């Protein structure tokens, strides 16, 4: 197992579409383990494969907030097969550090996905877990939560974030 490097916005890999997983082999299980370790280490409640530079349809999610037992979901080729209602929650992303914003999503979603050996599962969730599922699935389409903001808020984000990146680079250069 290994903690992998998380790519940050505006890395172009984060804007790419991921491909369907067809081989349920040891390599896939290793990737899923590394992703879970990387998510817990960050710490975060979800991580999609493209965030570590792997363009495969695989996400890991755990919204149990350190409760025991944990609730790790490893979802291969996930798709939302039903959704209802509307909710607006504040979101952040390990690939967009230091920035949070309210995003409109469905209130309740049903996720169909495969596990690492290829068996199919379904799970219906609302609340944080439902939001997290929708956020992670967006990553597989190359969509970040900031892409779902209004044009005005999005341009404010870009200005603020790029300024922050610049300051970080300057600080690093001076250190």
CB of 119 to Ni ion, least distance (A): 26
Q: In what order do the strands lie in the sheet with 108-114?
A: 46-48, 58-61, 73-84, 108-114, 120-126
Instruction: Name the residues that contact Ni ion, by CB under 5 A.
Output: 93
Q: Which of 94, 102, 78 is nearest to 40 (CA)?
A: 94
Nearer to Ni ion, 28 or 45 (CB): 45
* Nearest-approach distance from CB 60 to Ni ion, in angstroms: 12
Q: What are phi and psi of 170, to 5 degrees?
A: -65, -45
**Options 67, 90, 107, 136, the catalytic residue:** 136
Cβ nearer to Ni ion, comparing 93 with 116: 93
- What's the rounded Cα separation, in Å, for the pair 86 and 3? 35
Nearer to Ni ion, 104 or 119 (CB): 104
Inter-residue contact 105 to 87 (CB < 8 Å): yes
Answer yes or no: 136 catalytic: yes
CA angle 148, 60, 64 (to 5 degrees): 95
Which of residues 113 and 136 has its CB atom nearest to Ni ion in the complex?
136
We find the least distance from the C-beta atom of residue 115 to Ni ion, in angstroms, to be 21
CB 57 within 8 A of CB 79: no
Catalytic residues: 136
């Amino acid at each position: 197992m290994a903690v992998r490097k998380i790519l940050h916005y505006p890395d172009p890999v984060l804007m790419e579409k991921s491909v369907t997983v067809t081989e349920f082999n040891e390599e896939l299980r290793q990737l899923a383990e590394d992703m879970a370790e990387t998510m817990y280490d960050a710490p975060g409640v979800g991580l999609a494969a493209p965030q570590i530079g792997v363009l495969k349809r695989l996400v890991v999610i755990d919204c149990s907030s350190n409760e025991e037992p944990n609730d790790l979901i490893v979802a291969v080729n996930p798709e939302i097969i039903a959704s209802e209602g509307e909710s607006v929650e504040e979101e952040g992303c390990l690939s967009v550090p230091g920035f949070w914003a309210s995003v409109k999503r469905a209130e309740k979603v049903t996720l169909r996905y495969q596990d690492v050996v290829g068996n199919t599962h379904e799970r219906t969730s609302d609340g944080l877990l439902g939001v997290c599922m929708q956020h992670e699935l967006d990553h597989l389409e190359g969509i970040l939560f900031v892409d779902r903001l209004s044009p005005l808020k999005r341009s404010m984000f870009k200005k603020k974030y790029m300024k922050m990146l610049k300051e970080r680079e300057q600080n690093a250069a001076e250190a």
